[in-house]
Amino acid sequence: TEHTIALEKRHRLPGGQTMTDLAGLVVDRARNAEVWDTDGKRYIDFFTGVGVCNIGHSHPRFLADVQEQLAACAVGTFFTDVRSRYYELLSSQLPERLGRIHMFSTGSEAVEAAVKLARAATGRHEVVSFWGGFHGKTQGALGLHGGPRKRHSGPFPPGSHQVPYAYCYRCPLQLAHPACGQRCVEVAEESIENSTLGDVAAIIVEPVQGTNGNIVPPAGYLRALRRLADRVGALLILDEVITGFGRTGSLFAFQHEPEASPDVVVLGKAMASGVPASAVVSRSELVEGTPFAAPSAAASTFGGNPLASAAALATLRILLDEGLPERADRLGASVARRLASWTEEFPFVGNAACAGLMIGVELVEPGTRHPLPKDVTRGVFQHLLAEGVLAMAYDSRIRIYPPLSIPPEHLDEGLAAFERVFRSLSH
């Protein structure tokens, strides 16, 4: 273990990893919701590469399909049977009007393509995103970020503007839901209207803010943003890179609010269960006749290659055949009850909420909403590791992403470890 870590640290660019470094473990293998390190220690995986493994690690059917495609042909962007079948299956799960799909390799790349598409489709240039929102680390995607990760990386491409998100626990307007009447949406509108920027091409939003701590907005929020987009003449882009593929308890988060009906959806992460794959799905008529529809305008070396397509097809089939989005919804309801008991029992657990199996817990100074210092959460992270649980904890917000296929006893085991750690903190 020490040798592997020392070897890697000698060669790699510092900044390549963060929380996973703190864990100081070397992963050997993984099955469904369990991971083993090279010392043979076993963990419950509440991290899953930031919610990438919705079907569980090393699913036998996934392995078989991907291995078969790898042996047949892995590269190139010719027409392939596997990609056409993937497009057909994905389309069958989406509203009819979202009829155009194009694949890329990473979430950031797909976000940037979605922005280009919106600009091409509307002839407008500005993009509105949200405080606390995160859309990736390439220059264009990071330019949309409404938080600290931008530091030292600019200047960014011009034309982006951030507005408040419905983060009700820490309401940016100091109001309380539902009495606020979703004032944040009105403020967003005023801010767009008063901005010195030009016309808005798109509003891009995460249905649940992932990197900000798995922040679940109130029901009806996406619907309100849909109306806002219509009022300002912009497209609504939903970044479902984390929320997609069942994570929030429906195949896509916007399906909880059908009237939210986006113009463009960005997909990634769990789409191909670890084989890099992402996609932009858009309303059929948006791209026709625009520069974005020109040959090669959206093509890339790896996007939609046979390997990625096979991995995406296998993933989607497994999600559907095994009813994993519904399972996430069911298990999420039991997690929500457990989280409610945590806020009762532990005075330092502030906001604790989930959408399906997208779970966020904030640690605060008891009796306040002040975040607990980073080293306390890091201590919790280390303590959880010792208890055999991998979770995400950078600052005062803990993020939990179990596979949607997690056996209930493993989910319970992981949550019980949290309870032991929290109890030890209480003393």
Q: What contacts 249, CB < 8 A, 6 or more positions away? A: 256, 325, 326, 328, 329, 332, 355, 356, 357
Closest approach of Cβ 243 to ligand PMP, in Å? 8
Any idea what DSSP says for residue 137?
Answer: S
* Binding of ligand PMP by 107 (CB under 6 A): yes
Distance CA 55, CA 315 (A): 7
Closest approach of Cβ 288 to ligand PMP, in Å? 26
Name the helix (H) or strand (E) containing 37: strand 34-37
* Binding of ligand PMP by 416 (CB under 6 A): no
- Name the residue type at position 321: D
* Binding of ligand PMP by 242 (CB under 6 A): yes
CB atoms within 10 A of CB 383: 17
- 8-16, 17-25, 131-139, 399-407 -> range binding ligand PMP (CB under 6 A): 131-139
Count the residues of the shown chain that bind ligand PMP, applying the rule CB under 6 A.
Answer: 15
In degrees rounded to 5, what are phi and psi of residue 43?
Answer: -130, 150
Distance CA 46, CA 341 (A): 19
In this complex, which beta carbon is closest to ligand PMP, that of residue 256 or of residue 410? 256
- 86-94, 203-211, 256-264, 404-412 -> range binding ligand PMP (CB under 6 A): 203-211
- Cα torsion at 194, 199, 204, 205 (round to 10°)? 20
Closest approach of Cβ 266 to ligand PMP, in Å? 7
CB 391 within 8 A of CB 398: yes
* Candidate list 80, 108, 129, 273; residue touching ligand PMP; CB under 6 A: 108
- Residue nearest ligand PMP (C-beta atom): 107
Which residues in 132-171 contact ligand PMP (CB under 6 A)? 134-136
* Candidate list 140, 268, 332, 350; residue touching ligand PMP; CB under 6 A: 268
Q: Which tokens in the block code for residue 205?
A: 């939003």
Cα–Cα separations (whole angstroms), residue 333 to 22, 321, 353: 31, 21, 10
Closest approach of Cβ 38 to ligand PMP, in Å? 26
* Candidate list 32, 122, 182, 211; residue touching ligand PMP; CB under 6 A: 211
Closest approach of Cβ 10 to ligand PMP, in Å? 25
* Candidate list 140, 146, 159, 210; residue touching ligand PMP; CB under 6 A: 210
* Binding of ligand PMP by 50 (CB under 6 A): yes
Three-state secondary structure call for residue 358: strand
Name the helix (H) or strand (E) containing 86: helix 81-92
Distance CA 180, CA 361 (A): 24
* Binding of ligand PMP by 397 (CB under 6 A): no
* Binding of ligand PMP by 206 (CB under 6 A): yes
Q: Which residues bind ligand PMP (CB under 6 A)?
A: 50, 106-108, 111, 134-136, 206, 210-211, 239, 241-242, 268
